[in-house]
Amino acid sequence: MPQDQPVSRRAFLGKAATLGVAGAVAPLTVGSSASKAPGAAAARALSAADIEGAERVAGVAFTPEQREAMLEPLERRLGVLEDLHAASPPNSLIPAQRFDPQIAGDRPRPPQPHPEWIPSPASRPGSKEDLAFQPVHVLASLLRSRQVTSLELTRLYLERLKHYDRVLHCVVNLTEERALAQAKAADAELDAGLWRGPLHGVPWGAKDLLSVRGYPTTWGAMPFRDQVIDDDASVVERLDAAGAVLLAKLTTGALAWGDVWFGGKTLNPWNIEQGSSGSSAGPGSAVAAGLVGFAIGSETLGSIVSPSTRNAVSGFRPTFGRVSRAGAMTLSWSLDKLGPMCRSAFDCALVFGAVHGQDDRDPTTLDADFAWPFSIEPARIRVGYVAGAFEGDYAGAESDRAVLDVLRSLGFDPKPMAWPDIPTGGPMLALGAETAAAFDELSRTGGTDSMVSQQLWPSSFREARFITAVDYVNGQRQRTRLMHVVSGLMANHDVIVTNHRRNGLSITNLTGHPTVTVPNRLDPLEDAPESGRRRTDAINFIGGLYQDDVTLAVAHAYQSATDFHLQRPPIQ
């Protein structure tokens, strides 16, 4: 097609997309309500001048002759792009490529038989409030010994969810009918002497990006507020099989970013003037406030670590590929992980034991050994700590350094180390490109216009149009280099201890390493000490690939010598 002939708006967008620069016209086309105005004039044809302008964004430079030579081949691609846009694949459709943490050479231990964990005897607490805050391993004992029934627990937590949600805004939808039926079934089995394991009869909450048959799955975003997915996510199926009782779909920041969703902001029970962070905002808030026995959250880049830190709960981001994401909203195929958020690392291990494993619906998953309880000899565990994270005078420094002292008192010998000095910006292009692809149609059709924040995902989706395929692939090649370097670093450490100052969040999400986040600071607010509100903080234990049990065991050892995870927030 000659360059001076006009083309349709759709063809023009296709041309821009082949260059990876459709974002250059985003204000008038991609995801813009202005582009849908009746009678809008057709966009002009792509010209050499358009290519020249795009070069500055793509970081390349062509000659006038090269620009002219590109026009005809680009025009021939328009049909391909029209087909891609017309196909509008669902969020659940996976790409042909998949991320594999084993690229760097780390291999999982083959699954082995392990003795069944049996709960230690426990006595029923004296009040409902005390009962609500019991950890999973204690609830398991009370349920198995029949000192408490699943129906009693379910009704207690449902009552608390309804009461405290008026303040915390952590619930999207209750699954009350389903929960009551599950609780009655669990009690019938337990009364008959059938024990499915530590989660049998324990009530829990799901971050609302997990599909549950018969209930809305809103992804926290207004465009999906009434979405019902007629399927149960794999993790929901596995928890059903373990006898757990699903109470509620808990809030997620819109499309898994932050703590703001279409119903408002989810709040931190330790300080209700503060958001609960995100995007696993509801799970963090609900677990901290004693509204569920445990919850399942998700992380792409900090969405378990951050709300666990803010809400002073114990969160576990497993090795990439250990928990199936089938039935969960996709944000980034190569970065998304699901994991438990609980009162303790021990509880996280019990929940993880029920949900991990290979699943045909998620080809990134595998079967690997997981032993719990996992016995460790502290003197034999090679613990490193990120030296730069503990240096200087900063808020929480005393609490962070106390963690190292506790570990030393237990027999560990933490050694200083440092993260590799490799930029993560190139590898992180995956996040922008994959999220924009996952919600391509929503962005192109202006569906993001109804989202609460226009400065988060809507802007990010448009910005991602500037990412070229060449840069994306080269970023992933740099990711491989990063994986090899971190694999070499972990060859000398079983667990690395760090804080949020230099926690390697981008690095370990890119490489797929597991992280346990546990509270280590609950200080009264300086400006309102009488309020009972607290300033929270956490420490992170990062383990080797597929060494999830070792990582959890070190975090559990720390918690066995401290009581931060046993404290309760001041919310009334």
Active-site annotation, residues: 207, 279, 303
Please give the Cα distance from 256 to 264 (Å, whole number): 14
Burial category of 357 from C-beta neighbours within 10 Å (exposed 0-12, middle 13-18, buried 19 and up) = middle
Q: Is 93 helix (H, G, I), strand (E, B) or coil?
A: coil
- The phi and psi torsions of 136 (rounded to 5 degrees) equal -55, -45
Q: How far apart are CA 537 and CA 306, in angstroms?
A: 10
Q: Are 279 and 253 in contact (CB under 8 A)?
A: yes
Could you tell me whether strands 245-250 and 203-207 are parallel, antiparallel, or unpaired per DSSP bridges?
A: parallel
CA distance 548 to 324: 15
- The first and second tokens of residue 551, run together, are 């990582």
Please state, in angstroms and rounded to a whole number, the distance separating the CA atoms of residues 150 and 157: 10
Burial grade of 57 (CB within 10 A; 0-12, 13-18, 19 or more): middle
Torsion from C-alpha of 373, 560, 377, 488, nearest 10 degrees: 90
**How many Å apart are CA 332 and CA 434, to the nearest integer?**
5
Please give the sequence-ordered ranges of beta strands (E in DSSP) within 425-489, or none if there are none: none
